[in-house]
Amino acid sequence: MADQEGTPQKSLGTDVISPSKTLYSTPSTSTSGFNSGNDMSPPWDQGWQLFIPASIQDGSSRFGFIENALSEGNEQKLIEVEEQCKSLVNECEEGSDERRWLVRQLVEVRLKIQEKKDEDVSLKATVRLVLGHHMQLQDNNLNNTKLQCDRCCAAIWAMIHSWFRCIDCDYVCHTRCLSLITRACVHVAVSERPEYELRICPEVGLASSQRFKCTECNTPVTFTIPPIVTCFGRYTPQADQSWSEPRLCDYSGFYFCPTCHWNTSAIVPARVVHNWDFEPRKVSRAAQQLLRLMAEKPVLILKDLNPRIFGLVEELSVVQGLRENLLQMKRYLSTCDSAISEHLMWQLGSRQHFVENAHSYSMQDLIDINSGTMLPFVNQIHESFAKHIKKDCKVCHGRGFLCEFCHDPEVLFPFDPAVYSCPNCLFAFHNSCWLEKGNDECPRCLRIKQRHSRLSIPQEDDFS
């Protein structure tokens, strides 16, 4: 059948073609030769032949990347390979065997890309909008993850159940529970109003406000009826089976049924802000999800919420001091080309609010301060920024100050210890020199004011 001596093999059978290469073996009425027409036309128009040029069959890995991309199925990679294939086709001699083979590969790549696009569309079609949730059908049936349905509390076995997950808040439920969801997506609440309940367990009253119903799903709830002791012994009257035990959510102060409150514990922001109390309390599922989504949002302005707390928690006041320094360092770093190109401020990672203001904290910040992991982190950032400004960078160092009062040659920076920095112009003086001078106006501010009044131009930030 095939010529083994280097001439192109023109076998029609599948005997020389691996199964992966028979994908598009469109039946053809022609059994000999090739269609001499336009080789860019679809295979079914060409009297498609299953043919691999010997040069490629010989194990030349030159075109191996095409097959790799086809088997990997990565859409981006396939798009790149499509482009490479196109240019390879153009480079090949017209009518050559390699060219025909490459055209066929190109068609395969294009079909695979289309297949991937269709998959995406069908994936999007599996997202359902329910009470603000974007519930997406999960099809990872091969893993044996066990989850708990947020609606009915029963187990979800990924391998046997059909189930959905909210892509925004991670709410999960069986497909059969999808139409019964009663909890609105907490992600919507968090996006619209990223705030915490900061009253400590503002209990609203099961009877007065909730009328003995779960605040989320309206299931009747009541406390257990106490046992009755009679001369015949002790017995517990049977409560109506449709009633269940109310569970208080320490975060919201509402009562929930056991389906909506799983007795899971979480640190409650109100207790932290007012009492520096990190003891986890039992909260509803909704509160737990909300606390998780809010954890890294810097929405707690502690100096307004509870200014006394800085005097009570030493580590918090140290971190606060370092954060104020970081803000002063930002004035150097944000105007220094080398600091910008080195992405120095990226060291803060998700804590960019540390260089946006000195007062906002996220719950995660407070948890880390309490656990002792925050102080080393801020210290390390502080050291790194200071090293750039005072040692590594001539530009930043050149923007230091000499104390005008004592004319000491030591260069001072507003974030140095024992330095007084004018809040208006940032000019730095030794703390002792400033105190010695009494409450006089900063000499630099005075000069700027005099200059402005002489020139009578509007004042602007003179920091340079």
Cβ atoms of residues 28 and 47 within 8 Å: yes
Q: Is 339 in the site for Zn ion (CB under 5 A)?
A: yes
Least distance in angstroms from the C-beta of 249 to Zn ion: 11
| Site stretch for Zn ion (CB under 5 A), options 17-25, 215-223, 269-277, 351-359 | 215-223
Q: Is 345 in the site for Zn ion (CB under 5 A)?
A: no
- What is the Cα–Cα distance from 106 to 85, expressed in whole angstroms? 6
> Judged by CB under 5 A, how many residues of this single chain contact Zn ion?
35
Q: What is the DSSP string of 82-115?
A: HHHHHHHHHHSPTT-HHHHHHHHHHHHHHHHHHH
* Comparison of 112 and 151: residue with beta carbon closer to Zn ion: 151
| Site stretch for Zn ion (CB under 5 A), options 72-80, 181-189, 321-329, 455-463 | 181-189
- What is the Cα–Cα distance from 396 to 333, expressed in whole angstroms? 8
DSSP secondary structure code for residue 161 in this structure: -
Q: Is 165 in the site for Zn ion (CB under 5 A)?
A: no
Helix (H, G, I), strand (E, B) or coil at 50: coil
Residue for token pair 């294939």 = 85
Q: Is 184 in the site for Zn ion (CB under 5 A)?
A: no
Please report how many Cα atoms fall inside a 13 Å half-sphere around the Cα of residue 322, on the Cβ side.
21
Please report how many Cα atoms fall inside a 13 Å half-sphere around the Cα of residue 38, on the Cβ side.
4
* Comparison of 196 and 420: residue with beta carbon closer to Zn ion: 420
Q: Is 172 in the site for Zn ion (CB under 5 A)?
A: no
Least distance in angstroms from the C-beta of 357 to Zn ion: 21
- What is the Cα–Cα distance from 201 to 270, expressed in whole angstroms? 8
String marking each residue 247-286 x if it binds Zn ion according to CB under 5 A: ----------x-xx--------------------------
DSSP secondary structure code for residue 250 in this structure: T
From 166, 270, 294, 378, residue interacting with Zn ion (rule: CB under 5 A): 166
Least distance in angstroms from the C-beta of 91 to Zn ion: 50
* Comparison of 66 and 185: residue with beta carbon closer to Zn ion: 185
Least distance in angstroms from the C-beta of 381 to Zn ion: 15
String marking each residue 388-427 x if it binds Zn ion according to CB under 5 A: -----x-xx------x-xx---------------x-xx-x
From 100, 104, 161, 174, residue interacting with Zn ion (rule: CB under 5 A): 174
Strand pairing category for 172-174 and 163-166:
antiparallel
Q: Is 88 in the site for Zn ion (CB under 5 A)?
A: no
Tokens coding 29:
């009425």
Task: Write out the binding residues for Zn ion, residues 110-149 only, by CB under 5 A.
Answer: 133, 149
Radius of gyration of the chain (CA): 36
Least distance in angstroms from the C-beta of 139 to Zn ion: 17
Q: What is the DSSP string of 3-32?
A: --SSSPP---SSTTS-GGGGTT----S--S
From 151, 247, 271, 399, residue interacting with Zn ion (rule: CB under 5 A): 151
Tokens coding 86:
């196109």
* Comparison of 88 and 286: residue with beta carbon closer to Zn ion: 286
Letter string b/e over residues 253-283, b meaning 16 or more CB atoms within 10 A of that residue's CB: bbbbbebbbbeeebbbbbbbbeeeeeeebbb
Least distance in angstroms from the C-beta of 283 to Zn ion: 14
- What is the Cα–Cα distance from 406 to 404, expressed in whole angstroms? 6
Under the rule (CB under 5 A), what is the footprint of Zn ion? 133, 149, 151-152, 166, 168-169, 171, 174, 177, 185, 214, 216-217, 219, 257, 259-260, 336, 339, 393, 395-396, 403, 405-406, 422, 424-425, 427, 430, 433, 442, 444-445
